[in-house]
């Protein structure tokens, strides 16, 4: 690291790992419930497990993004963070909100709108919290010695994510309108501004890991985020086919959804071609694995599998079935979880000064978690297709169909064990690095960070 | 190829243009929603029902308008599928309705709360959803007995509750067996005992113990016993 305040990132990353572990626990609770072992029903009914599982995902990813910002922004701005104290206050308040929400979910205290379950009173705290974060990072960018596209895109992404949280806090009486604006948050987050954040982190990592000229990488960053918004904004329409709004959303949503994979394809091609351009290899290969992997898997999960069920003709049958769960798992994993893992893997040696890259545990973490996640996606896919045929085509009763597809959840849970073994390996590595130290200042030079060597 | 400036322009113009189109379409969609017939039927009851729906995070298991989780049935057309009486009986004790099956949390809803929820489900079922959820395509219907020729007419209770799971003359649900020739197998006395407490006669059966009065049991058994 170049600046002392980058150490803050470590505490965000540590929180991130903790929340991820908890998310996996709840995933297993649901997996077993679907297999028929619903033993925790009285304490953790399915809706509590589900709300906890998805909200933890959102919170740990946001924590990861915040950690990434605390690492990247000082580096890009060439200065210390505006206020270290504010950063720690913000992290602690974030954890508090998270803990209260999760406990609340188990006590029937929630808002009950998919992905936005955090109860209304706590929403205001979230807003204050995010404003604190944006102020701190914003002041750092504002007072920077230099403005880079990477830091601007990252900041703009974080800022819009905060702005788009607001439509989710308005109360509507009609389920149709409620649903309409709920997607303003959910869709425009994951298929819009989060991709800016992902693009920002990706381009920072590519600059560092491949040593390709900043100008080249940042130019393509603009093209990719441009494509994302061009397709993603009107692509929101693919959630509006069957909620009671005008018919034209089928055309608008269908057409722009078809373009959505393009942004992801561009991202994957961009990452691979930058890697091939680099000529020299960065010693931290595993960080490169996660970086390129994220670009590729986000194309498969978000781009390809998303496309597989967003056309209105297909969506009529797959809407509201396990097909959505299939797409959701690989999309979030590829696009957002992997990019957080990438920045973590890249930053940890530099924060702690320990050259613990390229060990077997790290390599195992990469392969096991990816293979496990692909297995889970496959299990969801088979179960989902069977569900669509039996329930929507043949008209069998819901519970009858669920019994028919129960066996696929054994596959899901087995794949989840493989996945979890990978995550455990990753966390073991994380713990091995230990806490960040000031002695690691300037560790980039020792790590053979190509771009830095070239810049000086 | 593109310069960095051109790339930036592409990003800014694209984002601005498509955001503007999106806002315009949003305005038009809201106008459509608020002028449609569904906005006139959006009563206090429906709104209270929606609040209960959210307060208990029903979306954490069910889907409505295809949105939510996939652990429990899609409820958009549940009013049409099951009818208000069935939903009322079900919500009072969900687990009794599906013994030994996937469980739903038993909420302590009051009668009026249940009415609110039913109103909410009915309202959603009446929305114009452009063909969602799709009607099953290959559902077979067999006509075994002409139910209309039966001497005793179908009791109201039968239409409200039983047809959700059982069919007669090809009409009804397919969860339980078709009842077209149930009279051949069982006499009135057996059917009465069965309806009083199915679990006692056949432990582990999927047939729930329904909250039926003695008169209703009598009517139902005499109706069923003549289906031969």
**Tens-place pLDDT, residues A402-428:** 999 999 999 999 999 999 999 999 999
DSSP state, residue B73: -
Q: Averaged over A204-217, what is the pLDDT?
A: 91
Option in A233, A321, A395 nearest B70 (CB):
A321
Option in A117, A229, A394 nearest B57 (CB):
A117
pLDDT band for position A447 (50/70/90)? low
Residues 256-315 of A with CB under 8 A from B: none
Q: What is d(CA A408, CA A266) in angstroms, rounded to the nearest whole number?
A: 34
pLDDT band for position A452 (50/70/90)? very low
| For chain B, percent of residues with pLDDT exceeding 70 | 94
Residues 133-162 of A with CB under 8 A from B: 149
What local confidence, expressed as pLDDT, does residue B151 receive? 67
Inter-chain residue contact A226 with B15, CB threshold 8 Å: yes
Option in A46, A112, A226 nearest B11 (CB):
A226
pLDDT band for position A456 (50/70/90)? very low
pLDDT at B139 over 70: no
The DSSP secondary structure of A127-159, one letter per residue, reads: HHHHHHHHHHHHHHHHT-S---HHHHHHHHHHH
Q: What is d(CA B113, CA B58) in angstroms, rounded to the nearest whole number?
A: 14
What local confidence, expressed as pLDDT, does residue B175 receive? 77
CA B151-B159-B70 angle, to 5 degrees, is 150
Q: Which residue of A has its CA nearest to B43?
A: A173
Under 8 Å CB pairs connecting chains A and B tally to: 211
For residue A431, the distance in angstroms to the closest alpha carbon of chain B comes to 34
Reported as a single tens digit per residue, the pLDDT across A121-133 is 898 888 889 999 9
The DSSP secondary structure of A72-137, one letter per residue, reads: HHHHHHTS--S-HHHHHHHHHHHHHHHHHHHHHHTTT-S--STT--S-HHHHHHHHHHHHHHHHHH
A215 touches chain B (CB under 8 A): yes
pLDDT at A265 over 90: yes
| For chain B, percent of residues with pLDDT exceeding 90 | 49
> Looking at the DSSP assignment, which residues form a beta bridge with residue B172?
B167
Q: Averaged over A171-200, what is the pLDDT?
A: 93
Q: Which two tokens stand for residue A85?
A: 């104290």
Which residues of chain B lie closer than 8 angstroms to A30, CB-CB? 71
Question: CB B126: neighbour CB atoms within 10 A?
Answer: 16
pLDDT at A306 over 90: yes
In this structure, chain A runs to a length of: 456
For residue B54, the distance in angstroms to the closest alpha carbon of chain A comes to 4
Q: Averaged over A361-370, what is the pLDDT?
A: 96
pLDDT band for position A451 (50/70/90)? very low
pLDDT at B144 over 90: no
Q: Averaged over A431-435, what is the pLDDT?
A: 94
For residue A205, the distance in angstroms to the closest alpha carbon of chain B comes to 19
For residue B109, the distance in angstroms to the closest alpha carbon of chain A comes to 14
Closest CA to A113 of A161, A181, A164, A160: A181
Q: Which two tokens stand for residue A200?
A: 């920002």
Reported as a single tens digit per residue, the pLDDT across A283-301 is 899 999 999 999 999 999 9
Reported as a single tens digit per residue, the pLDDT across A65-118 is 999 999 999 999 999 999 999 999 999 999 999 999 999 999 999 998 888 899
Handedness of CA A182, A303, A219, A253 (dihedral sign): negative
Option in B60, B129, B137 nearest A50 (CB):
B60
Answer with the residue of higher pLDDT: B221 or A279. Answer: B221
pLDDT at A169 over 60: yes
Q: Which two tokens stand for residue A347?
A: 């930053």
Q: What is d(CA B54, CA A126) in angstroms, rounded to the nearest whole number?
A: 20
Inter-chain residue contact B22 with A51, CB threshold 8 Å: no
What local confidence, expressed as pLDDT, does residue B150 receive? 59
pLDDT at A220 over 60: yes
A358: left (phi over 0), alpha (psi -120 to 50) or beta: left
Element (H, E) at A36: none
Q: For the purposes of burial, counting CB atoms within 10 Å of the CB of B202, is it exposed (0-12), middle (13-18) or buried (19 or more)?
A: exposed
Inter-chain residue contact B57 with A241, CB threshold 8 Å: no
User: Cα dist. B215→B85, B156, B192, B220 in Å?
Assistant: 17, 12, 10, 9
CB within 8 Å of B208: residues ≥ 6 apart: B96, B97, B98, B99, B198
Inter-chain residue contact A174 with B42, CB threshold 8 Å: yes
What local confidence, expressed as pLDDT, does residue B185 receive? 82
pLDDT at A448 over 70: no
Which residues of chain B lie closer than 8 angstroms to A322, CB-CB? 70
Inter-chain residue contact B14 with A45, CB threshold 8 Å: no
For residue B195, the distance in angstroms to the closest alpha carbon of chain A comes to 22
Q: Which two tokens stand for residue B14?
A: 């694209």
What local confidence, expressed as pLDDT, does residue A203 receive? 94
The string over A277-298, giving b where at least 16 C-beta atoms fall within 10 Å of a residue's C-beta and e elsewhere, is: ebeeebbbbbbbbbbbbbbbbb
Helices A194-210 and A338-352 cross at an angle (nearest 10°) of 50
Reported as a single tens digit per residue, the pLDDT across B20-35 is 999 999 999 999 999 9
A372: left (phi over 0), alpha (psi -120 to 50) or beta: alpha
pLDDT at B109 over 60: yes
Q: Averaged over B126-132, what is the pLDDT?
A: 93
Reported as a single tens digit per residue, the pLDDT across A308-326 is 999 999 999 999 999 999 9
Q: What is d(CA A133, CA A128) in angstroms, rounded to the nearest whole number?
A: 9
Per the CB < 8 A criterion, the answer to whether B29 and A245 are in contact is yes
Inter-chain residue contact A399 with B102, CB threshold 8 Å: yes
Option in A149, A242, A397 nearest B129 (CB):
A242
Q: What is d(CA B177, CA B193) in angstroms, rounded to the nearest whole number?
A: 18
User: Cα dist. A360→A32, A185, B3 in Å?
Assistant: 31, 40, 42
User: Cα dist. A7→A72, A131, A347, A440 in Å?
Assistant: 11, 21, 10, 10
pLDDT at B141 over 70: no
Answer with the residue of higher pLDDT: A447 or A251. Answer: A251
Query: What's the complex ipTM?
Result: 0.92
A242 touches chain B (CB under 8 A): yes
Element (H, E) at B168: strand B167-168
CB within 8 Å of A294: residues ≥ 6 apart: A198, A202, A271, A334, A335, A338, A339, A341, A342
Question: What is the residue-averaged pLDDT of chain A?
Answer: 92
DSSP state, residue A237: G
Of A104-118, A261-275, B85-99, B198-212, the range with the lowest mean pLDDT is B198-212
What local confidence, expressed as pLDDT, does residue B95 receive? 86
């Amino acid at each position: 690291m170049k600046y002392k305040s980058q150490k803050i990132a470590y505490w965000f990353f540590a929180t991130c790992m903790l929340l991820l572990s908890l998310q996996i626990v709840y995933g297993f609770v649901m997996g077993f419930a679907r297999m028929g072992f619903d033993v925790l029903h009285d304490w953790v009914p399915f809706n509590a497990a589900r709300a906890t599982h998805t909200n933890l995902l959102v919170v740990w990813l946001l924590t990861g993004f915040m950690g990434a910002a605390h690492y990247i922004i000082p580096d890009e701005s060439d200065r210390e963070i505006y206020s270290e104290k504010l950063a720690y206050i913000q992290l602690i308040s974030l954890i508090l909100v998270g803990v209260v929400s999760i406990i609340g979910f188990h006590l029937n205290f929630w808002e009950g709108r998919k992905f936005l379950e955090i109860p209304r009173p706590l929403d205001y705290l979230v807003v204050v919290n995010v404003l604190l974060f944006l102020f701190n990072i914003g002041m750092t960018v504002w007072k920077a010695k230099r403005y880079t596209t990477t830091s601007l895109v990252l900041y703009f992404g974080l800022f819009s994510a905060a702005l788009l949280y607001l439509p989710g806090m308005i109360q509507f009486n009609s389920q149709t309108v409620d649903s309409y604006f709920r997607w303003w948050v959910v869709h425009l987050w994951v298929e819009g501004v989060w991709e800016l954040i992902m693009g920002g982190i990706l381009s920072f990592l590519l600059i560092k890991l491949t040593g390709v000229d900043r100008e080249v990488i940042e130019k393509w960053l603009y093209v990719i985020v441009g494509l994302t918004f061009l397709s993603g904004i009107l692509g929101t329409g693919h959630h509006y086919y069957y909620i009671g709004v005008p018919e034209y959303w089928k055309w608008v949503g269908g057409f722009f959804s078809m373009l959505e994979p393009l942004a992801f394809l561009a991202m994957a091609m961009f990452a691979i071609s930058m890697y091939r351009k680099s000529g020299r290899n960065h010693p931290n290969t595993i960080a490169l694995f996660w970086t390129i992997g994220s670009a590729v898997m986000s194309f498969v999960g978000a781009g390809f599998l998303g496309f597989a069920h967003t056309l209105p003709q297909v969506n009529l049958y797959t809407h509201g079935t396990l097909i959505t769960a299939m797409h959701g798992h690989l999309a979030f994993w590829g696009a957002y979880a992997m990019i957080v893992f990438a920045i973590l893997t890249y930053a940890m040696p530099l924060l702690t000064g320990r050259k613990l890259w390229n060990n077997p545990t790290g390599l195992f973490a990469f392969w096991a978690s990816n293979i496990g996640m692909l297995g889970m996606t496959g299990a969801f896919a088979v179960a989902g297709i069977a569900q669509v045929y039996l329930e929507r085509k043949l008209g069998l009763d819901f519970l009858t169909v669920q019994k028919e597809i129960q066996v696929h959840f054994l596959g899901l849970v087995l794949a989840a064990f493989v996945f979890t073994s990978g995550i455990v390996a990753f966390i073991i590595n994380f713990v091995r690095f230990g806490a960040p130290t000031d002695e690691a200042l300037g560790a980039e030079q020792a790590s053979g960070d190509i771009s830095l060597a070239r810049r000086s | 190829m593109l310069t960095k400036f051109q790339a930036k322009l592409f990003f800014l113009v694209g984002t601005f243009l498509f955001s503007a189109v999106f806002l315009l379409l949003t305005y038009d969609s809201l106008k459509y929603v608020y002028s449609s017939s569904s906005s006139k039927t959006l009563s206090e009851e429906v709104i209270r029902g929606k609040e209960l729906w959210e307060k208990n995070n029903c979306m954490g298991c069910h889907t409505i308008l295809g949105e939510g989780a996939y652990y429990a049935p899609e409820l958009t057309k549940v009013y049409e599928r099951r009818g208000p009486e069935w939903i009322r009986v079900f919500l009072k004790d969900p687990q009794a309705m599906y013994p030994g099956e996937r469980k739903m949390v038993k909420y302590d809803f009051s009668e009026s709360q249940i009415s609110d929820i039913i109103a909410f489900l009915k309202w959603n079922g009446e929305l114009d959803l452009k063909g969602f959820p799709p009607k099953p395509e290959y559902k077979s219907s067999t006509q075994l007995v002409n139910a209309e020729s039966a001497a005793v007419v179908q009791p109201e209770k039968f239409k409200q509750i039983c047809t959700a799971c059982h069919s007669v003359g090809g009409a009804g649900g397919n969860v339980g067996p078709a009842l077209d020739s149930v009279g051949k197998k069982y006499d009135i006395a057996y059917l009465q005992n069965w309806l009083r407490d199915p679990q006692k006669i056949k432990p582990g059966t999927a047939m729930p113990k329904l909250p039926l009065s003695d008169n209703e049991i009598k009517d139902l058994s005499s109706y069923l016993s003549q289906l031969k």
